[in-house]
Chain A
Amino acid sequence: MNKETLAGAADRRRANSGDPLGANSEIGRKLKQYYDELVSDNVPDRFAQLLRQLEQAEPAQKKD
């Protein structure tokens, strides 16, 4: 699992600037671990379905 996330980039910036939530902080690390686990959770089908429904429900566009 090596995700190069936005958070990862921000993390490095912060680690360099001594930010309290950077990679050297226990809280910072746990926070990212907690969040990355949530982000990597499988997305249920209902959302793709929802977007398809929204698309179909759009008022018909002029075709020309």
Chain B
Amino acid sequence: MAAVSEGFKTDLLGSIPSLRAFAVSLTQNADKADDLVQETLVKAWDKHESFQPGTNLKAWLFTILRNEFYSQMRKRGREVQDSDGIMTARLAVHPAQHGQLDLKDFRGALEQLPEDQREAIILIGASGFSYEEAAEICGCAVGTIKSRVSRARTRLQEILKISGEDEYGPDAISSQVTGSNAA
């Protein structure tokens, strides 16, 4: 077995912040997330020879992390939530007022998404992956990722009571105006 190169090791170290962010997004738990990252690093180290230099290391690592996450969930006998779960019933978040959506509320809403939707919207909307890369990471079709992202977005809007159209609407603007002279 060839030694792990310095470059690989440096890149591995450099991707830890992203891996942790993705792991927290998946597990919704900081301790579990760090254990997951640790497992991922060990696995990546062991199979470093299967990584093709010049390809996307981050995507490769995310794939390992994701596989590890789902295999741990299966081991624990926990059913992987599917998209048609009963999540929408739990609408505990207040409506977003004048676009002032609290990060805590957002986190709560994200938590209510089924795993497959949550990971899709994180990979696409936050981690900076393309739909093609996300599909590869999740081992599914590009169209599947697209539909999961779309469902995730719709569901987040429902939970947070954001209407789909207010992004360019008068609300966003008027809240800026009223928000600035609240004295």
Contact = CB atoms under 8 A, between A and B. Distances in A.
Q: Tell me whether A and B are bound partners.
A: yes
Nearest to B157: A27
Contacts, number: 100
A40 B126 CA distance: 13
Interface string A23-39: 01111101111111111
Nearest to A30: B106
Interface stretch (B66-74, B75-83, B161-169): B161-169
Given A9-B128, A31-B126, A39 B110 contact: no
A57 to B, nearest CB: 9
Given A26-B166, A35-B122, A47 B37 contact: yes
Interface string B1-40: 1011000010011001110110011000000001001100
B99 interface: yes
A62 to B, nearest CB: 10
B127 interface: yes
Interface in B143-174: 149-150, 153, 156-157, 160, 162, 166-168
A7 B12 CA distance: 19
A27 B126 contact: no
Contacts of B42: 50, 54
A5 B128 contact: yes
Interface residues of B, number: 45
Given A39-B18, A55-B9, A30 B103 contact: yes
20 contacts: A7-B128, A10-B129, A21-B121, A27-B125, A28-B125, A31-B125, A33-B106, A37-B103, A38-B25, A41-B21, A43-B17, A46-B34, A47-B16, A48-B13, A50-B41, A50-B42, A51-B9, A54-B4, A54-B42, A54-B45
Given A47-B37, A51-B41, 16 more contacts: A9-B128, A10-B128, A20-B150, A20-B153, A24-B167, A26-B99, A26-B167, A30-B106, A34-B110, A34-B126, A35-B25, A38-B20, A39-B18, A39-B21, A50-B38, A51-B9
Interface of B: 1, 3-4, 9, 12-13, 16-18, 20-21, 24-25, 34, 37-38, 41-42, 45, 96, 99, 101, 103, 106-107, 110, 121-122, 124-130, 149-150, 153, 156-157, 160, 162, 166-168
